[in-house]
Amino acid sequence: MSKNLDEIDHKILREIQADGRITNVELARRVGISPPPCLRRVRTLEESGYITGYRGLLDPRMLGFDVTVFASVHLSSQAEADLKTFEDFVRQEPLVRECWMLSGDIDFILKCVARDMATFQEFVGRLTAAPHVRNVRTSLVLRNSKYEAAVPMDGKVG
């Protein structure tokens, strides 16, 4: 899909990814075009799905979420209806911050945050009792050595 993007579009995406609060005037200056066409390009990138949203990245520990855990979930069935049921369950759980369906031995991996281990253990009870869950393995995060929410944009077009 990126073959439809030109160098200006790539520059816009890099700048917005680095600073989602950048003004249109500053963005236009950085990418070398005037503000009106810059705004049109941003809107087109949004409408076509290249830009999926804007948000602030918050530090969970600063907000009292001291526990981060990855939960590997193996389901008893991979029928589409059962996968959807599990995904619906996960969407309703506020401690689950990310949910990825995988190929291989694990069906889903969940990134979870909690204020403390007792809160996380309560969630694990609900998770293991969820429909079609065969087993759950959890791994407590000790340290995060890299966190990069951005897509690696190397500057090449196409």
**From first to last of its 158 residues, what are the pLDDT tens digits of the chain?**
466 899 999 999 999 999 999 999 999 999 999 999 999 999 999 999 999 999 998 999 999 999 999 999 999 999 999 999 999 999 999 999 999 999 999 999 999 999 999 999 999 999 999 999 999 999 999 999 998 888 988 755 44
The predicted pLDDT at position 3 comes to: 67
The predicted pLDDT at position 150 comes to: 86
The predicted pLDDT at position 156 comes to: 54
| Cα–Cα distances in angstroms (integers) from residue 64 to residues 61, 75, 101, in the given order | 5, 31, 28
The predicted pLDDT at position 149 comes to: 83
Q: Residues 129-150, buried b or exposed e (16+ Cβ, 10 A)?
A: ebebbeeeebeeeeeeeeeeee
12, 17, 18, 23 alpha-carbon torsion, rounded to 10° = 60
The predicted pLDDT at position 2 comes to: 60
Query: Which domains are present in the chain?
Result: 2-47 (1.10.10.10), 61-140 (3.30.70.920)
